Amino acid sequence: MIVVKGIQSTRMTKSSKKFRVKNAMIGWSFIAIAVIMICLFYFYPMIQALILSFQSGMGANLHFIGFDNYIRLFKDPIFLTTVKNTVIYLLIQVPVMIILALFLSVLLNNKMLKLKGVFRTAIFLPCVTSLVAYSVIFKYLFAQDGIINNMLINLSLISEPIQWLTDPFWAKVTIIVAITWRWTGYNMIFFLSALQNVDESIYEAAKIDGASSLQQFFKITIPMLKPIILFTTITSTIGTLQLFDEVMNITKGGPGNATMTISQYIYNLSFKYTPDFGYAATVSYAIVILIVFFSIIQFKVAGDKNE
């Protein structure tokens, strides 16, 4: 009897192993194409770009130069200028956009507000418009004889047109306004969906305890939205560090290099200047390093002190 039971348990073990292997094969068959595509179009180019960053030349003339391209970064005035410009956009635009998106989401989550769907659609609509189309529109709006200057002059707020596109300071302001206009609605949707999942009884209990609307916002809403705030901040940081379309279409990086971003510099190194794909790959990995650096800071700032 003992031998029979042992044989039966052995057979069950083998059959269960076959069942698990079969399930695993079925699972892998579903995701195999996706895994192959991700490896082919994501990881392979990343590895190739990393190898390329240690090389110089073009085509068959590529040769290994070690860390020379990375040393060149710290001596390149244009690269340092683009880093400064990109960080300025990041430090100003991302906080403004996140705060504005949070404020709008709280307003549009109010049950007493009528036509909420219309307002939500109107605010979200910019982020689904064409990058090139809206950039060109902003270029015309902020031109010297554009609508913005004419409106400000008619309201007697300024006496002469502001050089929105040709002054280094105002050109940066124009880029920041354009990015904020486009992406605020995108982040607002995340906050709005999170707010609708917050139990109303929490706010009702806070009202009974005498908490004001401002106290409810800072003591209930902000803590509840902490994961979403972290997510939107990191994604917005990544997007801003990769900023290209707005700068390219509105100011073309000018005046001088006053608005040029790192991504535009990579484009110029690859297609506008004498092609230097090795150094362009090095600059692209500088963006990766900056993304990792700012993401770590944001995780540390938003981290739970009890962890």
Q: Clarify whether residues 81 and 25 are in a common domain.
A: no
Q: Looking at the structure, tell me whether residues 38 and 174 fall in a common domain.
A: no
On whether both 190 and 43 belong to a single domain, the answer is no
Tokens 């036509």 locate to: 115
Per-residue pLDDT band at 212 (split at 50, 70, 90): confident
Same domain, 46 and 73: no
| Residue 63 placed within a domain | no
State mean pLDDT over 252-261: 91
Q: What is the pTM of this model?
A: 0.85
pLDDT, tens digit, 9 for 90 and up, residues 108-138: 888 888 888 898 889 999 888 888 889 989 9
Asked whether residue 294 is assigned to any structural domain, the reply reads yes
Rounded Cα distance, 36 and 143, in Å? 47
Distance CA 172, CA 91 (A): 12
> Are residues 146 and 29 part of one domain?
no
Instruction: Indicate if 17 and 163 belong to the same structural domain.
Output: no
Residue 105 placed within a domain: yes
Encoded tokens for 96:
């403004």
Kindly state the average pLDDT of the residues 145-150: 92
Task: Write the CATH number for 226.
Answer: 1.10.3720.10
Q: Does 45 share its domain with 135?
A: no
Same domain, 78 and 33: no
Q: Are residues 149 and 266 in the same domain?
A: yes
Residue 105 sits in the same domain as residue 187:
yes
199 located within any domain: yes
What are 132-143's pLDDT values in tens digits?
A: 889 989 999 999
Print the SS3 string covering 66-79.
Answer: CCHHHHHHCCCHHH
The set of residues, in sequence order, having a beta carbon less than 8 Å from that of 19 and lying 6+ positions away, is none
Whether 3 has a pLDDT exceeding 60, the answer reads no
Total domains in the fold of the chain? 2
Phi, psi for 163 (deg, rounded to 5): -85, 75
The mean of the pLDDT values for the chain is: 87
45 and 77 share one domain: no
64 is a domain residue: no
Is residue 135 in a domain? yes
Domain of residue 20, residue span: 2-52
- Residue 235 CB burial class (10 angstroms; 0-12, 13-18, ≥19): middle
Q: Does 254 map to a domain?
A: yes
User: 53: Cβ–Cβ under 8 A, 6 or more apart, which residues?
Assistant: 69, 70, 278, 281, 282, 284, 285
* pLDDT on residue 20: 78
Per-residue model confidence as pLDDT tens digits over 19-57: 777 777 887 888 888 889 999 998 999 999 999 999 887
In a domain, 237, yes or no: yes
What per-residue confidence (pLDDT) applies to 2? Answer: 47
For residues 205 and 85, membership in a common domain is answered with yes
Cα–Cα distance, 34 to 42 (Å, whole number): 11
